Structure 1
Amino acid sequence: MSSAILAELEYAVSGLTNPPLWALPVTALALIAFSYLYAHFVTHSALRGIPGPLAAKLSNVWLFSTARRGVRSRTIHDLHQRLGPLVRIQPNHVSIVDEDAVKVIYGHGSGLPKADYYDAFLTVNSRPGIFSTRSRKDHTRKRKMVSHVFSAASVRNFEPFMKGNLENFVRQWDRLCAEAGGTARFDALDWFNYLAFDMISDLAFGRAFGMLLTGKDMAELRETPTSPPTYTSAIEVLHHRGQVNSTVGCIPSPYKPWARYIPDPFFRKGIAVARNAAKIAIAAVRDRLENPPTHDREDLLARLAEARDEKGSPISRDELTAEAMTQLIAGSDTTANSSCAMLYYAAGTPGVLEKLQAELDDVIDEDSLPTYDAVKGLPYLDAVYKESMRIHSTVAIGLPRIVPDDSPGVTVAGHYFPPGTVLSVPIYSLHHSKDIWGDDADTFRPERWEHATPRQNNAFMPFSTGPRGCIGRNVAEMELKLMLAAWARRYTPVIEERMDIEEAFLNKPVSVKISLTRR
């Protein structure tokens, strides 16, 4: 063999064993592109006919970016308006605006398990509560242990403690009006946050945080039950927690723990602050167990401590803390946000407040606070409550569920979805569907509930629905109706500015600036 041929062969082999520097990144990019294309054309081929952004069909990055920018629910709503009831928002995730889909995806018996979106809540807090638990078996066990705490009969025992916090609330608003010479101007969001935190901490731990009395947002933190206390803003903690979790949830589970290393301060700082939610719960549980109320009362923590599993074993300290944190988070931020929305729409929509006040004047004395028996059946108050929950949609996103691998798949809205498909019904879009609510779906109009259709009632799901729906719904409804009746009967608020919304896991008002006068 000639030396020239040997030289050519040697060059070719060296090219295989010692590739140029550019070959490695090109090969890596080619493999990544192939994996996305293979998933699109093979793994998720059953979804190829469903419309959606191309970037969403190929990668999770589109939804991740949308959530990071705080525009998820509005963006998906716009897509549904343009593309129809089915929209693909991730390679294996389909968003469906159809009230009949609610029963299939979330309903009792046929409901689907939670998708890996919820693992984000374990990234920030390692111990799952009833909200973040994905296992059906574990969730059923937890729900059986705590459901008695939230029964309608049990919740009625909490009313005296709700009333005590409402007294502090109106006392402060009375003071603001008096100090201002009649008409006070302030941000109502601050005071609704104080009220919501004090109310849920009082119900859960037997003692309010004291935010209403001090007019400050401050909560105790403890790393462990024996650690020295530090203090922080509870409202800021929960806000960062919602922002981070709603974004990290869009990342596949194997990569969620690495979110803190993303070169964006949003994740590093946000996760650090959000971890304080568990520390607030640790401190609150410690204080409650070591300093029980001197008076005879049954708070949520006492009832949780009495719970027993199927073997008769009591709930552990870690699990007790996890459930306490779940109740603290679920019962504060959501309540404050919804209360602000009720004030904003009731006071800012011509004729609504006057009609509501006329109804309340018939059942509440001038200087008295409402009782739940007096207001729970008031039709217009109920309509204002429901319409506020519909149009604001505190939880606006579609809560994701997954078709189990051991199932034959499901058919929803006339389309078959194989195992491994993630499905969700976006609550904001369902609550703003003109097909369901009419051409004025974006208008606050409580009167629509006077003749709500079965279809509209089925599409109304502010607390989600089914076995994984909000277990504290009875508490929330009582709190919100009492809050609404208390301020509407006593004051005349005037909206000073437009209510802007910042979206994370929840739709959170940025502020609600009002001028307030005693009636």
Structure 2
Amino acid sequence: MLPSIIVLPLAILFSYVTYQWFLHPLSKIPGPFWAKFSSLWMAKHSWDGDMHRATIALHQEYGKLVRIGPNEVSVSDPNAIKEMYVGAGTKFRKSDWYSVWQGRRKFDLFAERDEGIHGSQRRLIASAYSMTSLKDLERYVDSGIQCFEQRMNEREGTVIDLGNWVQLYAFDIIGEVTFSKRFGFMDVGADDGSFGQIEGALRSAAWIGQVPWLYWLHDYLSPIIGNHLGITARHGSLRTFAAREVAARKDRGSDHKDILSKLFAVQKGKPDAFDDASLISMATSNIFAGSDTTAISIRAILYHLLKNPECLQKLLEEIDERFAQSRLSHPVSLAEADSMPYLQAVMYEALRLHPAVGMSLPRVAPRGGIDVDGMHLPEGTVVGVNPWVIHRQKEVFGDDVESFRPGRWLRDDKKGDMLRCFAAFGWGARLCTGKNISWMEMSKLIPTLFLLYDIRLADPEATLSETCWWFVIQKGLHAVMRRRRDVHSAV
């Protein structure tokens, strides 16, 4: 007979496997075999960087509900979005996956799981990121675009990594609108290591968020074993960087109406609710998320336009017609860009095909659970919608969901449903705080570039690589830019 020291663990394991496989409330929901028993399936794909494509494939195989963890379900039902994320969605708190992102920070709009705390924090800083504040920030984006133009002129006719350049642009713009100071990345054509730190933090958080207890064990032991997780850069080196820039901005002062000036005003009015740590947290979030998400979106827009010449030609016609009518400034203003229907359709379509976030937005089902696609998911179930999956629902976007077709956004009869499923910036109360700034950066840069330059892919057959570590980062956007017109002599 086997000794009891072996029998007991085997019995426990057998009971666990039996329960998860046959008796668990989610047992009837299909999905990868190993996902029934542990989070290793999600951790592996999060580490490998292919979660966005893997989840699409699962829903194509299994339908609107897929069990991706012992107590987690990926949802692709458009009808569930409102309940999970909008309005009553505030009852669905963020899952423990976000605790890894927050660490010990008290003020963190992205990761805060308590909806009451999140609501009060968001109300504090909302005015700094509102559409009204864009009027104060637009001139700083203009300055960044002019710097970008100078760098492109210096490299005219040569093959450049345009994908890297737009990230240098986005990072410098964040510095300008936040601290009244560009970081100078465009000036030297390279970053200072920040991109690598952010990418390392993203990869680390993506996988270890699937096993958050491991993060907190590491946090507890770090005084003894040291730091071995990239996500700690969000709480450590990047936060230190932001704190240094905040201090420098205080020392030198500024008459710019930048984001910091607005946050300083919040702090002055409510110092107890918004202390220095809270202010630095917001500045860190600007740096961490603001550059990557905008760069990813700009790359997507440029790539799909350059891969679809007929769509690019339509955009060029819209740009040229308005320029000929003296209806475009240099750089193109936000108001002018907002009035360009095809440009806006191009942006929506590119972000539909390539939203920045490629993993599920996990929420915890509240008391009473949730009914989705004829199945009841009980209280405590982690549920989430992956933007890459919901953006490819044929019932909403049409049968050609893998095609780049901006014209679908120009149909009034379909646009409402598409916008309700559009998740490039999230939904509801958790809508990305920096959405307005990011949209302004894109809206102004894209038409300005095509107004000024003829842009071609260095290799028309090349495709971009995609790595999903929360954000789906592309590599390989190599292009050649040649001057199309000199607007200074034309105006």
Scaled by the length of structure 2, the TM-score of the pair is 0.90
Asked if structure 1 preserves the Cα contact closer than 8 Å seen for 2:39 and 2:210, the reply is: yes
CA deviation vs aligned residue, 1:258-315 (integer Å, no higher than 9, x gap): 46899xxxx936346554222222222222222222xx22211221122269977351
Check conservation: 2:136, 2:258, Cα contact below 8 A.
no
Q: Which amino acid is 1:382 matched to? A: Q
**1:483 and 2:453 matched:** no
Q: Deviation of residue 127 (structure 1)?
A: 4.8
Shift of 1:41: 4.8
1:56 touches 1:88 (CA, 8 Å); kept in 2? yes
When residues 348 and 311 of structure 1 are mapped into structure 2, their CA distance, relative to the original with a 3 A threshold, is: closer
Secondary structure of 1:423's counterpart equals strand
Q: What do the CA deviations read for 1:7-45 (whole angstroms, capped 9, x no partner)?
A: xxxxxxxx9xxx96xx64664454345345445555xx2
Q: Distance in 2 between matches of 1:311 and 1:514?
A: 49
Please tell me whether the aligned partners of residues 334 and 394 of structure 1 are also in contact (alpha carbons under 8 angstroms).
Answer: yes
Asked whether the 8 Å contact 1:501–1:507 carries over to 2, the reply is yes
Encode CA deviations 1:42-68: one digit per residue, 9 max, x unaligned.
5xx221111111211121111111111
Cα offset, 1:110, TM superposition: 3.4
The equivalent position to 1:445 in structure 2, one of 396, 405, 414, is: 405
Amino acid across the alignment from 2:410: E
Letter in 1 for 2:477: V
**Once structures 1 and 2 are overlaid, which stretch shifts more, 194-203 or 445-454?**
445-454
Residues 205 and 230, structure 2, Cα contact 8 Å, conserved in 1: no
Please state if 1:505 is matched with 2:467: no
User: What whole-Å deviation, never above 9, does each CA across 1:375-409 have from its counterpart, x for those lacking one?
Assistant: 111001001110110011111222000013xx222
Compute the displacement of 1:173 (Å). 0.3
Q: Does residue 1:208 correspond to 2:168, yes or no? A: no
Q: What is the distance in 1 between the residues matched to 2:10 and 2:181? A: 57
Alpha carbons 1:306, 1:314 under 8 Å: kept: no
Q: 1:173 to 1:40 in 2, by over 3 A?
A: same
- Cα distance change of structure 1 residues 28 and 215 upon mapping to structure 2, 3 Å threshold: same
Corresponding position: 1:34 with 2:34: no
Contact 2:315–2:343 (8 Å) recurs in 1: yes
Counterpart mapping for 1:97-246 below 5 A: 97-111=76-90, 112-123=92-103, 126-177=105-156, 183-218=157-192, 233-246=193-206
Distance of 1:516 and 1:312 partners within structure 2? 49
Q: Is 1:290 aligned to 2:242, yes or no?
A: no
Instruction: Check 1:210–1:445 CA distance in 2 against 1; reply closer, same or farther (3 A cut).
Output: same
* Displacement after TM superposition at 1:367 (Å): 8.6
Amino acid at match of 1:450: L
* Alpha-carbon distance between aligned partners in 1 of 2:37 and 2:184, rounded to the nearest angstrom: 50
In the alignment, which residue of structure 2 is the partner of 1:180? none
The answer as to 2:305 corresponding to 1:321 is no
Give CA-to-partner distance per residue, 1:479-503, whole Å, 9 cap, x none. 1111111111111111123211111
| Contact 2:20/2:27 (<8 A) preserved | no
Q: Could you say which residue in structure 2 is the equivalent of 1:518?
A: 483
How far does residue 435 in structure 1 lie from its aligned partner after superposition?
3.2
Q: Residues 271 and 475 of structure 1: is their aligned pair in 2 closer, same or farther, counting only changes over 3 Å? A: closer
1:419 aligns with 2:374: no
Say if 1:37 and 1:308 are closer, same or farther in 2 by CA, change over 3 A: farther
Q: Does the 8 Å CA contact 1:40/1:57 hold for their aligned counterparts?
A: yes
SS in 2 for 1:47: coil
| Residue 193 of structure 1: how far off its partner (Å) | 1.0
Q: Which amino acid aligns with 2:210?
A: C
Give the secondary structure class of the aligned counterpart of 1:278. Answer: helix
CA distance in 1, matches of 2:260, 2:6: 55
Given the alignment of the two structures, is residue 331 of structure 1 paired with residue 290 of structure 2, yes or no? yes
Q: 1:29 to 1:492 in 2, by over 3 A?
A: farther
Change over 3 Å in CA distance of 1:25–1:493 after alignment to 2: farther
Q: Is the deviation greater in 75-84 or in 361-370? A: 361-370
Q: Which letter maps to 1:502? A: T
* Contact 1:307–1:314 (8 Å) recurs in 2: no
Q: For residue 256 of structure 1, what is the aligned residue in structure 2?
A: 215
The structural deviation recorded for 1:79 is 0.8
Deviation at 1:336, TM superposition (A): 0.7
> How far apart in 2 are the matches of 1:110 and 1:450?
29
- Identity, in percent, stands at 27
Are 1:87 and 2:66 an aligned pair? yes
The 3 A distance-change label for structure 1 pair 323 and 311 is closer
* Contact 2:65-2:74 within 8 A present in 1 as well: yes
Q: Report the Cα distance in structure 2 between the residues aligned to 1:234 and 1:146, rounded to whole angstroms.
A: 25
CA 1:256–1:446 in 2, change beyond 3 Å: closer, same or farther? same
State how far apart, in whole Å, the 1-side matches of 2:238 and 2:20 are: 37
Greater CA drift, 368-377 or 193-202: 368-377
Q: Measure, in 2, the Cα distance between the counterparts of 1:493 and 1:31.
A: 63
Aligned residues: 469
Contact 1:375 1:481 in 2 (8 A): yes
Name the structure 2 match of 1:360.
Answer: 319
Q: Which residue of 2 aligns with 1:429?
A: 389
1:281 aligns with 2:242: yes
**Residue segments in structure 1 that go unaligned for 5+ positions in a row:** 1-14, 178-182, 219-232
2:425 to 449, 460, 463: 463
Q: How does 1:291-306 map to 2 (within 5 A)?
A: 291-293=252-254, 296-306=255-265
**Structure 1 residue identity aligned to 2:478:** K
| Other-structure match for 1:71 | 50
* C-alpha separation in 2, matches of 1:281 and 1:254: 28
- The match for 1:61 is 40
SS of 2:230's equivalent in the other structure is: helix
| Mapped partners of 2:288, 2:151: distance in 1 | 24
Indicate which of 327, 330, 339 corresponds to 1:377.
339
Counterparts in 2 of 1:37 and 1:268: CA distance versus 1, 3 Å: farther
Letter aligned with residue 180 of structure 2:
G
**Against the structure 1 CA distance between its residues 309 and 516, is the aligned structure 2 distance closer, same or farther, given a 3 Å change threshold?**
same
1:8 paired residue number: none
After superposition, the C-alpha distances for 1:441-500 in whole angstroms (9 at most, x for unaligned) are 101111111115132222212111100111221111111111111111111111123211
Q: Give the match's secondary structure for 1:514.
A: strand
Give the drift of 1:256: 2.3
Amino acid at match of 2:199: H
Aligned equivalents of 1:142, 1:355: Cα separation in 2: 43
| CA distance in structure 2 between the partners assigned to 1:418 and 1:143 by the alignment | 29
Letter paired with 1:447: G
Question: Under a length normalisation based on structure 1, what TM-score does the superposition of the two structures give?
Answer: 0.85
